Amino acid sequence: MSYNDAFANRYDDWSAHVTADIAFYVELATKADGPLVELAIGTGRVAIPVARATGRRVIGIDSSPAMLAQARARAAEAGVDLDLRLGDMRDLALDEPAALIYCPARSLLHLPAWADRRRTFERVAASLRPEGRFAWNAFAFDHRIAARLDGEHQAAPEPHTIRYSVGENRSDIVRDDGATISLWWATKNEWLGLLDVAGLDLEALYGGFAHEPFADDSPEYVFVARRRISPDAP
C-alpha cells in the first residue's frame, strides 16, 4: 500500500499548490499536549512546519522508502526533528499514546477497502491518549468535476490522465509513462461510521481549512475527532 515511488521524486511538483492545510494542522499540533504523529508523512510537507512551530519531534509514518528519504533530507535542511518510520498505517503501533494523530493530503483515500480503513481507525483509536485527537481531510466526490475531468489529458505538473471508475469509487491518476496512483473516495456517512466503530467521537466537520461550515457544496471533508472515553474509566 505504498504511494508509488515513481511519483515520489516529483511529489513536490504535484503538491506545490497545496498549502492551505498546513496552518490547520499546525494549529491542532500547538494545542496538543503530548506526542504528535503524522500518517503518510510523504516528504514532510506538513510535518516540517508542525515541528518548527511546536519545537517538538513529529513521528512520521510512511510506506514509501523514497518518500521517507526525501523527508529525512528536508528535515535535516530545515533543522527540525522528525522520527521517520517505514510502516503501514493499518498496523499503527506506538510506544507512547499520542495526543494528536493526523493524516493530511487526502492520504486515507489510498486505502482501497472499508476493512482497510476500519483497521486504520481502530489502530488510531488504540494509539491515542484519552480524548486525544485524530484529524484528516478527504475530497467530497462531485460528479460534475468527475464528468469534466474523466479521460482528459493534462500537461501539468507532468503529462497525465485522470480516469474515474464510479462503480469502484475510485479515481486513477495515470502518468503517460504508466505510473498510476489510485484514490478510493468515501461519503460523509462512511467516515462517520468509521468513527463510530473505532470508538472515536466527532468533534468537528469543516468544509475547508479555514474552519468553514460544512455545506452541501463543500468540496472537502476536514474532520477532527477525539478518542471516546469509556463510561467505566476513572
Q: Whose CA is closest to 169, among 226, 101, 113?
A: 113
CA distance 26 to 100: 11
**Contact between 28 and 104 (Cβ < 8 Å):** no
How high is the pLDDT of residue 119?
Answer: 98
How high is the pLDDT of residue 232?
Answer: 56
Q: Quick check: is 232 in a domain? A: no
How high is the pLDDT of residue 4?
Answer: 61
Q: Quick check: is 59 in a domain? A: yes
Query: Are 50 and 151 found together in one domain?
Result: no
Query: Are 134 and 145 found together in one domain?
Result: no
Q: Whose CA is closest to 221, among 207, 202, 204, 200?
A: 207
State pTM to two decimals.
0.94
**Contact between 86 and 23 (Cβ < 8 Å):** no
How high is the pLDDT of residue 19?
Answer: 87
Query: Are 53 and 19 found together in one domain?
Result: yes
Query: Are 162 and 191 found together in one domain?
Result: no
Query: Are 83 and 173 found together in one domain?
Result: no
Q: Which residue has the cell 504511494?
A: 3
One digit per residue, the tens of pLDDT, for the chain of length 234 reads 345 677 777 777 777 787 899 999 999 999 999 999 999 999 999 999 999 999 999 999 999 999 999 999 999 999 999 999 999 999 999 999 999 999 999 999 999 999 999 999 999 999 999 999 999 999 999 999 999 999 999 999 999 999 999 999 999 999 998 888 999 999 999 999 999 999 999 999 999 999 999 999 999 999 999 999 876 554
How high is the pLDDT of residue 163?
Answer: 97
Residue 68, all three cell numbers: 521517507
Q: Which residue spans within the chain are E strands per DSSP?
A: 36-39, 58-62, 82-86, 98-103, 128-139, 153-154, 160-165, 170-175, 180-184, 200-206, 220-227
Through-space distance between the first and last CA atoms of the chain, rounded to whole angstroms: 39
How high is the pLDDT of residue 231?
Answer: 63
Query: Are 191 and 203 found together in one domain?
Result: yes
- Domain range for 195: 5-140+185-227
Query: Are 148 and 46 found together in one domain?
Result: no
Query: Are 21 and 55 found together in one domain?
Result: yes
